[in-house]
Amino acid sequence: MPNDAQSKEYAITLTNISKGFPGVQALEDVSFTVAGGEVHALLGENGAGKSTLLKILSGIYHADSGEIKMNGKHVDLRNPKLAKQAGIALIHQELQQVPELDVAQNMFLGNPLTRFGLFKDHAKMRQKAKALLTQLDPSIDVRTKIKNLRVAQRQIVEIAKALLVEATVIAMDEPTSSLTPIEFEKLVRVIEQLKAKNVAIIYVSHKLDEVFRVASQATILRDGKKIGDVDLSTTSEDAVVNMMVGRSLDIPPHESHIQNEVVLSVDGLCRNRHVQAISFELRRGEVLGVAGLVGSGRTELARLITGVDRPTSGEIKLHGAMVSFSDARKAIAAGIALLPEDRKKEGIIPLRSVASNTALPSLPKLTRAGIIKNREVATRVSELARSVNLRPHLIERPIRLFSGGNQQKAILCRWLMAGSEILIFDEPTRGIDVGAKGEIYRLIDRLAGEGRSIIMISSELPEILRLCDNVIVMRASAMAGKLSRAELSEEAVMSLAITGKLVA
Amino acid sequence: MEDTLITRLKNMDISWRDMGTVAGLIIMVIVFSSLSDVFLTQRNLVNILQQSSINCCIAIGMTLVIISGGIDLSVGPTAALAAVLSGTLLMAGYPVPVVISTALAVGLCCGLLNGVLIAFAGLQPFIVTLGTLSLFRALALIFTGGNPVLGLPNEFRQLFASQILGLPVPVIVVAVLAITATVLLKMTPLGEYILAVGGNEEAARVSGVPIERTKVLTYMISGGLASLAAIILMARLGAAEPTLGNLWELEAIAASAIGGASLMGGKGSIFGTILGAIVLGAMRNGLTLLNVQAFYQLLATGIIIILAMLVDRLARGRG
């Protein structure tokens, strides 16, 4: 238990931390403090310096200058081992666990308890792991293999691991990026327990609504510099966003471009247990939202419509004619394109240039005597890149070097070049900066205005509310309901997504 | 000035990685020419190119396969099978064009089998070609009862023994192949597809790249080039042995890797691979001139491969 003298000291104090990389100053004189039992958010756009700061705290990077104190005493964080010994634990966004080992083995990975310093003492490790986990989440069995746990449970295992080494500062990097709302509530309860144990928590997240729920204080970074500290109980979300992006976001009000012509109609579409009896119509110029919790079958639906997977039953009609796509190529030829959620995995060819990535589906149309007409490709990609405001405008640069928002723009160019009429965006702004989000929204709006039809799968209610003409809500692989623009509200979408019913 | 030079280099598409391989080759030439008077003679240099031509031929196909994210371990036995079948036809008196076409057809079929098993049955390239490595070798041995086909007619042998512009025909053939493969890789949709499939297969699928066709064609090219290498070797030896092509796959993989191809797929250069094959050939030639035992040549090959990978890693930084 902390006595009075200790509790006056901050659990961790960062003073004038700077870190430069060749060509870029990632952090410049950043200072902040976190008290024991406090949840302190670190906010900023991608590239603002949050990850660099976390890496310095966990000993992966070494600060060029500045000082870090814990409980008033200088600490040396030159390498990860020293950081761990000092009591700092980092919960990575992508959890670093061994899937084939069980919970207890993972918690003691690297420093197992032993008998006579030789044999691993499994019984004792399980016992200790269990003692910690029962406090956090009794539903986790220490003998389950990590691969059989849900992401949220794996996260809790990681937190338990931090407690095992008696960490006094726990930094969480985007802990909720793959959690459902219910799992998030569980995490909130765990965080409350950590606060009660007087652990200082540094919380990094893009989701401002969550930050406001969890954290009391926040430090806002922009371009490696600290913009300010705010007390979240007295600051509005808009004010925080303004500080993060350095300008206010002008997001246009919804404007409907919906026309009468039905371009796509889906009737009773099924695939095994993953998609069950989905029916809807999509009109020219319409933005149709697909809402629902993560895992409710939305991505699977998109994969059926775009021919990546094949339906087990049901009909897809395109301009009134029945179609059945045996692979993505057929759907693309018919004008249907997918902008996938996981751009790294399904969107980009990382080593190839923006031009190559963009032209990929259109290549057969761009050849003379079997040779790609390079100049024409360059001209057309360049025009498209300009129209979507690709930054920087370097179409020969490998796509992996672009930010998430600009990668998304490049993938959009891919389908504009291919002449796709129906664009299916799966989580269009996942992992994209607050600033670039507005741009993507305006682009979606513009595409609808040009007479393209858009299906937008999203977990972010604000973007569903802002952009969509109609919304279908999915729950447990099936359709929970349809909402027109007039019926659309956050409450309506959530109650359909969670209970399957519209609560009046 | 500098700007135009850089743009010109870019237009020539010679990457910094290829420059690194060139630098390695130059160092090797300097070392060997200072130790041996014979090394830098025109005759010896042509010799090196000729000795490297078979590995170049195999390695071009291997590079394409590696870029597509695969591997082809069956090139040696493919060559052997093509050799014994076409050699037998040759002895039976069939005309040379028919014989060469048959050899190529055999190679393409071997590649087709690999490609279909990998692309359509979804099996792993390493395992499939490990299987066909045994399979093709066994077929070649069974077909000839283990005996070589000896005494191939001179008419056939002369075809590859002559010289054009002072260079042996095999060297010219390889040069033409290398240029064709470079054009294929950099300027045609198939090349772009190969890079895309190896770079990110899922993204390529979503982008409408014909994954299966791309893979099958890539393995067919590899098989076809293996049979061409067999023809070159048959002409040189005047015989078709069912055991020919032993460990060719490893030589070709080494050349590709030295030349900058990533075994993870998505990256590689034909020019680099040719340089890689010449580096290996020049080293073997130089060490032989210096009367170094074959055991040490093997040692040097190993060191060069690991050194090239280390330089690669250091130059690119970690991750």
pLDDT, one tens digit per residue, over A182-239 is: 778 888 988 999 999 999 999 998 778 889 999 999 999 988 899 999 999 999 888 8
CA nearest neighbour of A9 among A65, A70, A71: A71
Q: Taking CB atoms and an 8 Å limit, are A371 and B188 in contact across chains?
A: yes
Query: A105: which strand partners?
Result: none
Q: A311 CB near a chain B CB, below 8 Å? A: no
A170 shares contact with chain B (CB less than 8 Å): no
Do A328 and B205 lie within an 8 Å CB cutoff? yes
- The more confidently predicted of residues A409 and B162 is A409
Amino acid at A170: I
Residues of chain A in contact with residue B189, where contact means CB-CB under 8 angstroms, are 363-364, 367, 370, 372
Q: Does B163 have pLDDT greater than 60? A: yes
DSSP A236: -
Residue of A nearest to B200 (CA): A349
In the predicted model, what is the mean pLDDT of residues A137-155?
A: 86
What's the pLDDT at A504? 56
Average pLDDT, chain A: 89
Lowest-pLDDT range, A168-172, A193-197, A455-459, A494-498? Answer: A494-498
| Cα separation, A378 vs B212, whole angstroms | 28
Residues contacting residue B112 through CB under 8 Å, at least 6 positions apart:
B216, B219, B220, B223
| pLDDT (0 to 100) of residue B318 | 41
Q: Which band of pLDDT confidence, cut at 50, 70 and 90, is reported for residue A170?
A: very high
Dihedral sign for Cα atoms in the order A471, A473, A479, A481: negative
| Chain A residues within 8 A of B188 when measuring between CB atoms | 367, 370-372
pLDDT for res B171? 96
Q: Where are the alpha helices (DSSP H) in B14-74?
A: 16-35, 42-67
Choose, out of B183, B184, B186, B207, the residue to mutate when testing the contact with A (most A CBs < 10 Å). Answer: B207
Mean pLDDT of B248-256: 96
Res. A273: pLDDT tops 60 = yes
Residue A28 to residue A292: CA distance in whole angstroms = 41
The proportion of chain B whose per-residue pLDDT surpasses 70, expressed as a percent, equals 94
Q: Looking at beta carbons, which residues of chain B come within 8 Å of A368?
A: none
pLDDT of residue A456 exceeding 60, the answer is yes
Which positions in chain A touch B196 (Cβ < 8 Å)?
Answer: 349, 352, 356, 360
Tell me, what's the pLDDT at B12? Answer: 45
State how far the Cα of B66 lies from the Cα of A62, in Å rounded to an integer: 38
Provide the pLDDT for residue A247: 63
Predicted pLDDT of residue B243: 96
More confident residue, A200 or A150: A200
Q: What is the pLDDT of residue B176?
A: 97
pLDDT at B96 over 90: yes
Indicate if the pLDDT at residue B173 is higher than 60: yes
Task: Name the most confidently modeled range: A9-13, A318-322, A432-436.
Answer: A318-322
Q: Closest-CA residue in chain B for A341?
A: B203
**B11 pLDDT above the threshold of 70:** no
Instruction: Report the SS3 class of residue B212.
Output: helix
pLDDT exceeds 70 at position A35: yes
E-assigned strands of B163-257?
A: 163-164, 167-168
pTM summary value = 0.81
Q: Does A347 touch chain B (CB under 8 A)?
A: yes
Task: State yes or no: pLDDT of A3 exceeds 80.
Answer: no
Structure-token pair, residue A412: 């959009």
Question: B208 and A332: CB-CB below 8 Å?
Answer: yes
Nearest to B199 among A352, A371, A372 (CB): A352
Interface of B with A in 162-221 (CB under 8 A): 183, 187-189, 192-193, 195-196, 199-200, 202-210
Residue of B nearest to A329 (CA): B208
Is B195's CB within 8 Å of A356's CB?
A: yes
Cβ–Cβ under 8 Å, residues A176 and A187: yes
Q: Closest approach of chain B CAs to the CA of A325, in angstroms?
A: 12
pLDDT for A112 equals 81
Percent of chain B scoring above 90 in pLDDT: 82
Contacts of A367 in chain B (CB under 8 A): 188-189
Write the CB contacts of B26 (distance below 8 Å, at least 6 apart in sequence): none
In A370-414, which ranges are E strands? 371-372
Assess A355–B contact: CB distance below 8 Å, yes or no: no
Interface test with B, best of A325, A349, A354, A373 (most B CBs within 10 A): A349
Label residue A68 left, alpha or beta by phi (over 0 means left) and psi (-120 to 50 means alpha).
beta
* 8 Å CB contact of B266 and A351: yes
Query: Is pLDDT of A6 > 60?
Result: no
Contacts of A374 in chain B (CB under 8 A): 187
Q: Is residue B259 predicted with pLDDT exceeding 50?
A: yes
* Predicted local distance difference test score (pLDDT) of residue A261: 95
Number of C-beta neighbours around residue A141 at 10 A:
14
| Residues of B whose CB is below 8 A from A349 | 195-196, 199-200, 203-204, 266
B126 versus A243: the higher-pLDDT residue is B126
CA distance A235 to chain B (A): 40
pLDDT of residue A226: 93
pLDDT of B55 over the 70 cut: yes
For chain A, say whether B314 makes contact (Cβ under 8 Å): no
Q: How far apart are the first and last CA of chain B?
A: 34
Q: What is the mean pLDDT of residues B153-160?
A: 91
Q: Is B233 exposed, middle or buried (0-12, 13-18, 19+ CB in 10 A)?
A: buried
Higher pLDDT, A336 or A499: A336
Across the interface, whether the CB atoms of B267 and A351 are under 8 A apart is answered yes
pLDDT at B14 over 60: no
- Residues A43 and A37: their CA atoms lie apart, in Å, by 19
Q: Which residue type is seen at B143? A: F
Beta-carbon contacts below 8 Å between A and B? 78
Listed residue (A306, A396, A389) closest to A347, CA to CA: A306
What is d(CA A153, CA A139) in angstroms, rounded to the nearest whole number? 9
- What pLDDT does residue A9 have? 74
Q: Which residues share a beta bridge with A336? A: A422
The pLDDT value recorded for residue A417 is 96
Residues of B in Cβ contact (< 8 Å) with A306: 206
Flag if A349 and B188 touch (Cβ within 8 Å): no
Ranking A92-96, B57-61, B190-194 by mean pLDDT, the lowest is A92-96
CB proximity list for A272: less than 8 A, separation 6 or greater: A312
**CA distances to A133, A233, B94 from A190, in Å:** 10, 21, 81
User: Which residue from A minimizes the CA distance to B199?
Assistant: A349
Burial class (CB in 10 A: 0-12, 13-18, 19+), B219: buried
Does the distance separating the beta carbons of B195 and A370 come in below 8 Å? no
* Confidence at A251, pLDDT banded by 50, 70, 90: low
Amino acid at A255: E
The residue type found at A235 is T
Say if residue A250's pLDDT is above 80: no
Give the pLDDT of residue A7. Answer: 42
The answer to whether residue A351 neighbours chain B at the CB level (below 8 Å) is yes
Nearest CA in chain A to B209: A361
Q: Is B312 on the interface with A (CB under 8 A)?
A: no
For A352, which of B188, B195, B205 is closest by C-beta distance?
B195
Residue B4's pLDDT is 46
- Which residues from chain A sit within 8 angstroms of residue B210, using beta carbons? 329
pLDDT at site A249: 58
